[in-house]
């Protein structure tokens, strides 16, 4: 590979194969998840994998090919929490510029409080706002999304949040 600006009018340096001219693009990854809610409690998952093993997060993970953001968010919620739920509207889109990711979180209404977490989760548990272990939240995207969720809930209306983290 050679790092150069391709001859196709591109303006960024890319990895280009000198033999065949194939351009290899390095683009952001999508992370998809939910804010699962039952009444006035939010479901969090205690991570059983790195990074941030032992800390709490919303159910989320990398989007797979051939699925929409909502389908990926639902899959991750089933895999990590073993939850039954109805997916709602997109709630937050968080650009994590420094690591090349975009995180999408959908609201989700839990159908009951029985969970069957997968191998990536030590524990899945519901929290009232004043019980959330804020000092043990795994990722800034999750903390920011939770803060916006509880603020919107107090205001009595939910809106889409676009957030940039650098």
pLDDT score of 163 more than 90: yes
Q: How far is Cα 121 from Cα 59, in angstroms, rounded to an integer?
A: 9
| Residue 87 lies inside a defined structural domain of this protein | yes
| Residue 56 lies inside a defined structural domain of this protein | yes
Q: Which domain holds residue 127?
A: 28-165
pLDDT score of 82 more than 80: yes
Q: Give backbone dihedrals phi and psi of 74, rounded to 5 degrees, phi first.
A: -65, -45
Q: How far is Cα 104 from Cα 141, in angstroms, rounded to an integer?
A: 9
Tell me the two tokens of residue 106: 């959908």
| Residue 102 lies inside a defined structural domain of this protein | yes
| Residue 84 lies inside a defined structural domain of this protein | yes
Share of the chain above pLDDT 90, in %: 95
Q: How far is Cα 18 from Cα 154, in angstroms, rounded to an integer?
A: 57
pLDDT score of 124:
98
Do the beta carbons of residue 123 and residue 80 sit within 8 Å? no
pLDDT score of 129 more than 90: yes
pLDDT score of 26:
87
Query: Each residue of 12-47: pLDDT tens digit?
Result: 999 999 999 899 888 999 999 999 999 999 999 999
SS3 content of the chain, % helix, strand, coil (to 5): 25, 40, 40
Tell me the two tokens of residue 162: 């676009």
Q: Is the pTM of this model over 0.95?
A: no
| Residue 12 lies inside a defined structural domain of this protein | no
| Residue 107 lies inside a defined structural domain of this protein | yes
Do the beta carbons of residue 83 and residue 123 sit within 8 Å? no
Q: How far is Cα 116 from Cα 105, in angstroms, rounded to an integer?
A: 21
| Residue 113 lies inside a defined structural domain of this protein | yes
pLDDT score of 58:
98
Q: How far is Cα 132 from Cα 103, in angstroms, rounded to an integer?
A: 21
Nearest to 32 by CA among 66, 80, 75: 75
User: How many domains, in total, are found in the chain?
Assistant: 1
| Residue 17 lies inside a defined structural domain of this protein | no
Q: Which residues partner with 47 through β-bridges?
A: 121
Q: Residue 104: which CATH number?
A: 3.90.79.10
Query: Each residue of 141-151: pLDDT tens digit?
Result: 999 999 999 99
Kindly tell me the sign of the dihedral angle through the C-alpha atoms of 73, 142, 55, 133: negative
Average pLDDT, the chain: 96
């Amino acid at each position: 590979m050679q790092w150069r600006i391709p001859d196709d009018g591109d303006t960024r340096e890319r990895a280009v194969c000198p033999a065949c001219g194939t351009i290899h693009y390095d683009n952001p990854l999508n992370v998809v998840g939910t804010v699962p809610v039952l009444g006035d409690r939010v479901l969090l998952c205690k991570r059983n994998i790195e990074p941030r093993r032992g800390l709490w997060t919303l159910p989320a993970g990398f989007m797979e090919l051939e699925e929409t953001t909502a389908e990926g968010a639902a899959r991750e919620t089933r895999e990590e929490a073993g939850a039954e739920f109805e997916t709602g509207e997109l709630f937050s889109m968080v650009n994590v510029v420094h690591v090349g990711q975009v995180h999408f979180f959908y609201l989700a209404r839990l159908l009951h409080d029985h969970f069957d977490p997968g191998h990536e989760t030590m524990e899945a548990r519901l929290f009232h706002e004043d019980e959330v272990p804020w000092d043990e939240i795994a990722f800034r995207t999750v903390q920011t999304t939770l803060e916006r969720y509880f603020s919107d809930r107090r205001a009595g209306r939910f809106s889409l949040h676009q957030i940039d983290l650098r």
